[in-house]
């Protein structure tokens, strides 16, 4: 490469040509570009100051704060192309190469995903093929997250000052790990399915289908055909029990914000062939089902118990309670609940305030109960009704609330 140099001496301009090897010029340009890139990553211009250790520390910190590293980006690109990944079985995938001439086997070794490509063998760390498999498992969850876009916040301090800290390598689902810069809390995006093995979307779908009336074996068949997941019906049953347990724990931690008018009603159900009574307490404003309990009879003690359970779950007390004409309610309302409550008993159908909304809930729950072949005992039935209540509050949208769930309506 030739460089023309112009110099001036005693008023006379001299021009001469200097020849620089092409290789040396290109190396020098690459070094300068690298310095500029490092300077940009460090947040300043290319003439950086300070010792090397501080610059390296800042460089590493900025790299860790990047959304995705290069191999993660390439893994996402493989998934986005479509037709690049083939599932052989529950432990093995085949990922096609960029030139489409060969496929690399990505398999589960009991602790994590491994690949047979040269990049993985050299680094013994996740390559783009492993990331492609991880993102493939997250793909339905990512799509649903975009349709129901919410800010990711720290579960401990509710701060939005969070950064991504890679993926948790699990066999069924790669959860996104987050780090809160305010309280240093680490958490994942598994939500209510935390502690349950499996894809959170599959867990949520199984719970939704179960409480809509499908049997466990029908849900097993659905997951296999639609999501290509081989999940046994006992596992689905464990998912449902664990999900309901998590939802009840959340309710206990955060009291339900409700309105000032509650409706109470009881209805007949058969458990192990014997007649029992299902009591329900519903908030008129948010449609939150505050309490749902099964008893042997309809005594004043039973009525008092359901009222106290609703007061325990609610964040605020009601000013009015509406019931039918059962005498047990009149006796129960004479008790001291620590607040002044007006009792509206036996309203007519044509009245402005009646008990129709809670009677509609009774019909909804009894329709679902018919889907169960048999309610064997009181304890198991109580768990089912608890699950129905959590599903009704947290997952079932209501047209009267503009398509929102009661929990969402209460948070507005």
Q: For the domain 261-411, what is the CATH code?
A: 3.30.420.10
Q: Residue 59 — very low, low, confident or very high, per pLDDT cuts 50/70/90? A: very low
Distance CA 244, CA 97 (A): 43
Contact 376, 345 (CB under 8 A): no
Task: Decide: residue 282, CB within 10 A, 0-12 exposed, 13-18 middle, 19+ buried.
Answer: buried
**What are the angstrom distances between the C-alpha of 95 and each of 33, 69, 393?**
35, 19, 42
Q: What is the pLDDT of residue 106?
A: 93
Residue boundaries of the structural domains of the chain: 2-64, 70-192, 197-253, 261-411
Of the ranges 132-136, 183-187, 252-256, 286-290, which is most confident?
286-290
Q: How many CA atoms lie within 13 A of 63 on its CB side?
A: 11
Q: Residues 385, 390, 396, 400: what is their CA dihedral angle, to the nearest 10 degrees? A: 90
Give the pLDDT confidence of 211-232 residue by residue, as tens digits: 888 889 999 998 888 776 778 8
Give the pLDDT confidence of 81-97 residue by residue, as tens digits: 888 998 888 789 999 99
- 288 or 68: which leads in pLDDT: 288
Residues in the chain: 412
When mean pLDDT is compared across 195-199, 253-257, 348-352, the lowest value belongs to: 195-199
Strands 320-323 and 261-271: parallel
Q: Structure pTM?
A: 0.59
Residues 144-155, mean pLDDT to the nearest whole number: 68
Contact 248, 386 (CB under 8 A): yes
- 378 or 61: which leads in pLDDT: 378
Q: What is the pLDDT of residue 224?
A: 82
**What are the angstrom distances between the C-alpha of 310 and each of 1, 282, 313?**
85, 9, 5
Query: How many Å separate Cα 37 from the centre of its chain?
Result: 37
Q: Residue 198 — very low, low, confident or very high, per pLDDT cuts 50/70/90? A: low
Residues 346-372, mean pLDDT to the nearest whole number: 83
Q: What is the pLDDT of residue 195?
A: 52
């Amino acid at each position: 490469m030739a460089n023309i140099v112009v110099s001036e001496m005693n008023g006379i301009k001299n021009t001469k040509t200097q020849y620089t090897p092409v290789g040396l010029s290109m190396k020098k340009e690459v070094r300068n570009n690298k310095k500029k890139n490092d300077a940009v990553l460090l947040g300043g211009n290319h003439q950086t100051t300070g010792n090397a250790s501080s610059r390296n520390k800042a460089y590493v910190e900025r790299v860790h704060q990047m959304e995705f590293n290069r191999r993660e980006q390439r893994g996402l690109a493989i998934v986005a192309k479509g037709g690049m990944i083939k599932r052989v079985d529950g432990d093995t995938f085949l990922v096609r190469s960029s030139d489409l001439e060969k496929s690399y086997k990505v398999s589960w070794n009991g602790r994590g995903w491994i690949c047979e490509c040269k990049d993985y063998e050299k680094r013994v760390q996740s390559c783009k093929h492993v990331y492609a498999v991880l993102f493939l498992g997250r793909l339905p969850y990512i799509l649903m997250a975009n349709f129901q876009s919410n800010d990711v916040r720290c579960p401990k301090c509710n701060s939005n000052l969070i950064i991504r800290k890679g993926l948790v390598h699990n066999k069924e689902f790669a959860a996104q790990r987050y780090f809160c810069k305010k309280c240093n809390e680490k958490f994942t995006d598994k939500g209510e399915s935390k502690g349950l093995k499996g894809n959170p979307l599959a867990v949520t779908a199984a719970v939704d289908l179960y409480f809509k009336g499908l049997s466990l074996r029908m849900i097993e068949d659905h997951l296999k055909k639609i999501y290509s997941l081989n999940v046994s019906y006992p596992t689905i049953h464990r998912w449902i029990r664990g999900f309901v347990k998590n939802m009840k724990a959340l309710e206990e931690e955060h009291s339900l914000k409700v309105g000032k008018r509650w409706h109470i009603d009881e209805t007949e159900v058969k458990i192990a062939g014997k007649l029992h009574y299902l009591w329900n307490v519903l908030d008129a404003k948010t449609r939150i089902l505050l309490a749902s309990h099964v008893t042997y009879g309809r005594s004043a003690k039973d009525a008092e118990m359901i009222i106290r359970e609703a007061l325990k779950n609610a964040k605020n007390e009601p000013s009015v309670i509406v019931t039918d004409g059962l005498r047990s309610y009149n006796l129960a309302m004479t008790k001291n609940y620590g607040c002044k409550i007006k009792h509206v008993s036996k309203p007519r159908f044509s009245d402005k305030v009646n008990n129709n909304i809670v009677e509609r809930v009774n019909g909804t729950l009894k329709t679902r109960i018919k889907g169960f072949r048999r309610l064997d005992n009181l304890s198991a039935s109580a768990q089912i009704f608890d699950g129905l209540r959590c599903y009704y509050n947290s997952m079932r949208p209501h047209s009267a609330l503009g398509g929102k769930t009661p929990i969402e309506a209460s948070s507005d």
